Amino acid sequence: MVNNAHLLPQYIPVARPEPARSDQHSLSFPLENKSFVMDQMDFDVLEDDGLTAVLAPLRVSILHSDFQVQLADRLQAIADDIANVDAIRKRSPKLANAVEAHASEIFKGVNSSELRKTADRLIALKTEIFGLTNAGSAHRLIEEERKPEVDAELSVGKEGRLLTRIHVYKERDRGLVKRAKDHYRRMNGGKLACSGCGMVPVDVYGPDGERSIEAHHKTPIEELQPDSETTTADLAMVCATCHRVIHSKKPCLTLEELQGLIGDHGRLTNKKT
């Protein structure tokens, strides 16, 4: 792991997060240029002969926050856009031109002001077309844009709409949801309980009650990493009512905020899943 300030400009313009010029004491999502301060960058050492080290950037930590920018995700998203620039062009020639201009500067391997400018132009175009989103790949956003709307989008405007869609479609991955339910069932004595209100559906409705339990991302959609993979540990079990309340606001409520709304008197059990 390396914490060396002079190395940061070599990678940040490529990965496209932009550090603030002055200290910030709060972090808001989606991340925007000059809205945060980098604390440190972590590297993996690929080669080291004692004189020269080859480093691979892993992540950037954000000051006054537990959040980290996963650089591998960001760089992979850029690579995906470069590989799919023809498909992007069908949706927006301007966006495709911006991807190519940024790629051209990346391939020069020079930390120049033009590298930063092409990144800024690309970010601005993505915001104009898709709204504010942390999803890293324009190609991915275009693919998601083609999907049907989901229920959770009814309370969401343009900003965050596509990220909400990605988030909810992940929640509806049947294989992942089954694995997550099996996992939490094992942890909870063979029964599923709602992490919001605490209801144990099989105790209330009988064997069919578990149909009311749905999978929900623990991480707010604004904080999802670009094109990130979802695991069972990323999901919580909530009843259909609590799930609708969680998605009733933008940004969506966290489990802690939901539990605060319900209050101790509304909790049916102290079990947490």
Q: In the chain, how many H helices and how many E strands?
A: 11, 5
Of 176, 175, 159, 152, whose CA–CA distance to 236 is shortest?
176
pLDDT digits (tens, 9 = 90+) for 106-146: 898 888 889 888 988 998 898 888 887 777 788 988 888 88
Q: Does residue 18 surpass a pLDDT of 60?
A: no
Q: Does residue 2 surpass a pLDDT of 50?
A: no
> What local confidence, expressed as pLDDT, does residue 273 receive?
45
Concatenated DSSP letters for 34-94?
TS--EEEEEEEEEEE-SS-EEEEEEEEEETTSS-EEEHHHHHHHHHHHHHTHHHHHHH-HH
DSSP class of residue 218 equals S
Tokens of 170: 């992940």
**Mean pLDDT over residues 25-43, rounded?**
75
> What local confidence, expressed as pLDDT, does residue 23 receive?
53
Give 93's strand partners: none
Q: CB atoms < 10 A from the CB of 165, how many?
A: 22
Burial class (CB in 10 A: 0-12, 13-18, 19+), 25: exposed
Q: Answer yes or no: are the C-beta atoms of 12 and 19 closer than 8 Å.
A: yes
**Mean pLDDT over residues 41-46, rounded?**
88
The identity of residue 251, as a single letter, is P
Confidence of residue 85 (pLDDT cuts 50, 70, 90): very high
> What local confidence, expressed as pLDDT, does residue 10 receive?
43
